[in-house]
Structure 1
Amino acid sequence: MAEWGDLVTYIRQEYRVVRDDPDEIRIRLLFGDDPDTEQRAQIMVIAREILDQREDWVQIATPFARHDEVDLLEVLTEVGNSTVVGGLAVMGDHLVLRHSLPLINLDINEFIDPLELVAGAAELLEQQFTGRDDY
């Protein structure tokens, strides 16, 4: 898989798409298999980015809190101690966990693993720092 269109086709087949634009697709990942508890969800934004106007990349991002509702030093410390994949960024009013990958020669597992790791880490951060399930 080396092109944006191929990745989007795969995502449409494998995930619950909640928004589909030419250079961005959003999916909803569910957490929790226990039928007695409510499932939590995480909205994942997968976007095509062009590096230096020549290289196609894919960015995986998900918000987990508003930056004005949490202690940023605590969040940064937690991300530094517990997160293997992804980095923290402020986008608008939100804190997001994100990770980027080059599309050239991308194997599907090189997308799936970071997607799941970023989603799971953001879900835990959201629980820990907001106690809610907003994203």
Structure 2
Amino acid sequence: MAEDAETETEYRIIEDSGDEIRVLVEYEDDRSQIVIIGREELDGREDWVQVLSVIGRAAEVDLQKLLVELGQVSVVCGAVIVGEHVLLRHAVPLLNLDINEFTDPLNFIAETADHLEEMFYRHDDH
């Protein structure tokens, strides 16, 4: 269990396929967010870990307003569209990775995705 300044969070692995792990981040206010953690290889030589979370369907949101809000609330992730969904994504190299370089972005991704989901989609689909 980890704690930040706003709310206490709890993490639970809900799926481990070997290539990626899905973690359910649960908050005291009964909201939750799924964060996907996967290993990526950059240029065929460097191992990175990618942390991402789905916000919602791209067709259901004003993307400009969402990006403006993201620019005001986050410095550690970017928004991308993969398939039909908007995702928040962050990646860090595994070589010499310190644990806080992984856990802090994981928390920021989960909190930011949850905030944007609540603000723009008005429901919690994780």
**What's the TM-score once normalised by structure 2's chain length?**
0.89
1:82 alignment partner in structure 2: 73
Are 1:25 and 2:25 counterparts?
no
> How many pairs are equivalent?
117
1:105 alignment partner in structure 2: 96
3-state SS, counterpart of residue 132 of structure 1: coil
3-state SS, counterpart of residue 53 of structure 1: coil
3-state SS, counterpart of residue 58 of structure 1: strand
Following the alignment from structure 2 to structure 1, what is the Cα–Cα distance between the partners of residues 73 and 102? 20
Residues 86-129 of structure 1 show CA distances to partners (whole Å, capped at 9, x for unaligned) of 00000111100110000000011111101001110110000000
Residues 35-74 of structure 1 show CA distances to partners (whole Å, capped at 9, x for unaligned) of xxxx111000000000001100000000011101100111
Letter in 1 for 2:38: A
Bigger Rg, which one: 1
Following the alignment from structure 2 to structure 1, what is the Cα–Cα distance between the partners of residues 63 and 11? 32
1:68 alignment partner in structure 2: 59
Structure 2 counterparts to residues 19-58 of structure 1, below 5 A: 19-32=15-28, 39-58=30-49
- The answer for unaligned runs of 5 or more in structure 2 is 1-9
**Aligned-pair Cα RMSD in Å:** 1.2
Letter in 2 for 1:61: L
2:7 alignment partner in structure 1: none
Larger fraction in strand: 2
Deviation of the 1:85 alpha carbon = 1.1
The percentage of aligned residue pairs carrying the same residue is 50
Deviation of the 1:133 alpha carbon = 0.2
Following the alignment from structure 1 to structure 2, what is the Cα–Cα distance between the partners of residues 31 and 121? 13
- The answer for unaligned runs of 5 or more in structure 1 is 1-13
3-state SS, counterpart of residue 104 of structure 1: coil
